[in-house]
Amino acid sequence: MKNKIFKIFLWAFLISLVLFFLTLIFGLFQQLKITSVQKQFAAGEIFFAIKLTLLTATVSSVIALIFAVPIAYILSRYNFPLKNIVNSILYLPIVISPIALGAMLLIFFNTPVGKFFESNIFRVVFEVPAIILAQFIVIIGLAISLVKSVFDYINPEYELIARTLGVTQSQTFFHVIIPIAKKGILSAFVLVWARAVGEFGASVTLAGATTMKTETMPIAIFLSFASCDIYNTIVLTLISLFIGIIVLYGIHIYAKNRKPPL
């Protein structure tokens, strides 16, 4: 009996949250029915925004993981002086508001270093790389934190055994640790990618809201809302929801069907 009550207790949380989200989505359809169309739906613009969002989120997530994997490995396996301070600095993007991060980046490109970069390497501010950089800065803390928990759960004995068998440290990392951590890293990728897809504050501050240039889906939704165009706001939100669900569901299925490495 006690077990049953406990199970009901657990399920109650799950069901209430899922129902709440479904109610939110249902609310969108309800509002859609009573809201009048204000502006013609610009399919070309929406298609561009979707393409740009998916492209920039994928690039920024890949770059974030390229940085996160070695950093998380160091934080998980080694102790070094000032580790706590370094930890705090790396996780700052998680606690700082995205608009503040965007403003920090915009101000950085006003410093001599930023100006030198823009005039001699390539332009970032108000261009597509600005979206990628903004998304990267917003998700990197989360990426490090997620990948570090994956490494934390891998028993260091695997590495010790590999080393005693005469394998180098890099071989151990690439042929023992990474295969074990692959699934966890993939899950981390999915989460940071999803966060990057929804990123708005930092991107709009650094890249602007230029139609057909730096207009991602969240920016398109904002611009519709800011034009008092509730109808298009809902349509764009539903498109974002649909894409998000399809992609996340697809990746979960893919990850589920893969055989574990060990």
92: burial class by Cβ within 10 Å (0-12, 13-18, 19+)? middle
233 in Cβ contact with 224 (< 8 Å)? yes
Out of 62, 66, 89, 226, name the contact with other proteins by CB under 8 A.
226
Sign for the pseudo-dihedral over CA of 59, 63, 65, 68: negative
Least distance (Å) between residue 47 CB and other proteins:
11
25 counts as binding other proteins under rule CB under 8 A? no
104 binds other proteins, rule: CB under 8 A: no
User: Considering the complex, what minimum distance in angstroms separates the CB of residue 23 from other proteins?
Assistant: 15
Among positions 55, 76, 92, 208, the unique one binding other proteins when judged by CB under 8 A:
208
Interface stretch with other proteins, choices 59-67, 145-153, 201-209, 241-249 (CB under 8 A): 201-209
Is 106 a residue that touches other proteins (CB under 8 A)? yes
Which one-letter DSSP state was computed for residue 30? H
Residue type, 114: G
**Binding to other proteins in span 49-78, by CB under 8 A:** none
- 126 near other proteins (CB under 8 A): yes
Tell me the number of residues near other proteins by CB under 8 A: 32
* CB closer to other proteins, 123 vs 175: 123
The residue among 30 and 171 lying less far from other proteins, judged by its C-beta, is 30
Q: Pick from 51, 50, 56: which is nearest to 239 by CA?
A: 50
Nearest distance, CB of residue 36 and other proteins, angstroms: 8
Q: Does 109 bind other proteins (CB under 8 A)?
A: yes
Reduced to 3 states (helix: H, G, I; strand: E, B; else coil), residue 22 is helix
C-alpha dist (Å) from residue 42 to 31, 212, 224, 235? 20, 11, 11, 11
DSSP string, 226-262: HTT-HHHHHHHHHHHHHHHHHHHHHHHHHHHHSPP--
Give the nearest distance from C-beta 85 to other proteins in angstroms: 30
Span near other proteins by CB under 8 A; candidates 141-149, 154-162, 171-179, 200-208: 200-208
**58 vs 56: CA distance, rounded Å:** 5
Question: Which residues in this chain contact other proteins in the complex, by CB under 8 A?
Answer: 31, 36, 38, 42, 44-45, 106-107, 109-110, 125-126, 204-205, 208-214, 219, 222-230, 233
